[in-house]
Amino acid sequence: MEYKVPPKDSVFNTTFEHLPGFMMFDSTRVSPHSYLELISKVGEGDEVTFSLSVDTLKKFGALEYNQIFHRNDVIKGKMKILKIFKGEEEANADYKKEIELEKNRELDLLKKYVKEKGITAKELPSGVMVQVEKEGEGSKPDSGQTVLVLYKGYFPNGKEFDSNNGPKSPNKNPLSIQVGAGGVIPGMEEGIRSFGKGGKGKIFIPALMGYGMGGQPPIIPQYANLIFDVEVIDVMATPPPPPTPAPQMPPMRR
C-alpha cells in the first residue's frame, strides 16, 4: 500500500519495498470511502490506483484537517495484492518470512554504512550493532538497573533528530533508562548493555528495533535505521517506587 499527499504528491505512507501489510478481510465490515471497498474487486497479483477525498474522509470521521490534510485535498493511493491466504496459519507463516526479509534488508544497509565509514562494530543477536570506543568501568547494566545516558541520535545520512549533549539541545539532562522496563526503543535498551559507567560508543539500530514500520511522524520516518552516539554517565540500582499512601477514611458521622 502507498499513499501520496499534496502539494507535491510526496509519499505519506508506503509498504512497497518493505514489510507488506497483512489483514483479515471481512466484507461485512467495510469502511466507506477507503481502499477496503476495492479488496473484493481485485485478485492476487492485481495492482490498482485510487483517489480519496480528504473532505469526504472528514465527513465520515476518518480524519481531521491538519498540517498534512487540508480542505479540498485528494490523497492518491496505490495497492498491490501479493497473495490471498487460505487461512490464518498460512498467513502467519508467510508473515514470519517477510519479517526476516525486512530485518535482513535493514541490517544489510547498516552493514554497508559501517563498512563505508570504516567502523568496527559487533553485531548483537537482534541485529543491533555496537561500536565500543570505551567500555567503561564496573559491570555492564542488567535488567532492573538504571542507566544515565548522554546521547545524539541521527540518521545514516547524518541528519540529527534528537540529542541531550549538544549546545542547542533543549534538554541537557541525562536520559534515564531502566533496563528491562521497555521505556525506550528496544535497540537502545539492548545496545546500552554493552557499556559500563563512563563507557562511550555508537549504537546502530535497525528500523524494526527502533520505531519500525510506522516511524514517529513527523520526526522519524517509516523504516528508519537509527544511529546513536552514547556516553554512559552512571549505572546504578533503580530506586524503589515511593510508597502508596494509605487511603483516607471519611470522618465518622454521629
Q: For the domain that residue 137 is a member of, what is the CATH number? A: 3.10.50.40
pLDDT in tens, 142-181: 999 999 999 999 999 999 999 999 888 888 899 999 999 9
Catalytic-labelled residue, pool 69, 195, 204, 211:
211
Of 3, 161, 233, 234, catalytic: 161
191 and 113 in one domain?
Answer: yes
Mean pLDDT estimate for the chain? 92
| Pair 109, 50 in one domain | no
Is residue 143 located within the same domain as residue 204?
yes
Verify that 75 and 153 share a domain, yes or no. Answer: no
113 and 202 share a domain? Answer: yes
Whether 217 is covered by a domain: the verdict is yes
For the cut 60, the answer to whether the pLDDT of residue 122 exceeds it is: yes
119/190 same-domain check: yes
Would residue 98 count as lying in a domain? no
Averaged pLDDT for residues 222-232: 97
Active site residue 85: no
Examine the pLDDT at 228 and tell me if it is beyond 90.
yes
Statement to judge: residues 155 and 76 lie in one domain: no
49 in a structural domain:
yes
95 is an active site residue? no
40 with 112, same domain? no
Domain that holds residue 202: 104-237
Active-site position among 185, 205, 220, 227: 185
Burial class of residue 187 (count of CB atoms within 10 Å of its CB; 0-12, 13-18, 19+):
buried
**Whether pLDDT at 213 is above 70:** yes
Identify which has the larger pLDDT, 241 or 44.
44
113 is catalytic: no
Q: Is 211 a catalytic residue?
A: yes
**pLDDT at position 203:** 98
Catalytic residue among 195, 204, 223, 228: 228
The pLDDT, as a whole number, for residue 246 is 65
Whether 110 is in a domain gets the answer: yes
Instruction: Tell me if residue 161 is catalytic.
Output: yes
**Span 49-75, average pLDDT:** 95
Check 69, 75, 151, 192 and give the catalytic one. 151
**pLDDT at residue 124, as a whole number:** 96
The answer to whether 228 is a known catalytic residue is yes
With a cut of 80, say whether residue 252 has pLDDT above it. no
In a domain, 115, yes or no: yes
The total number of structural domains that make up the chain: 2
Indicate the pLDDT class of residue 248, thresholds 50, 70 and 90.
Answer: low
Give CA–CA dist 15/17, Å, rounded.
6
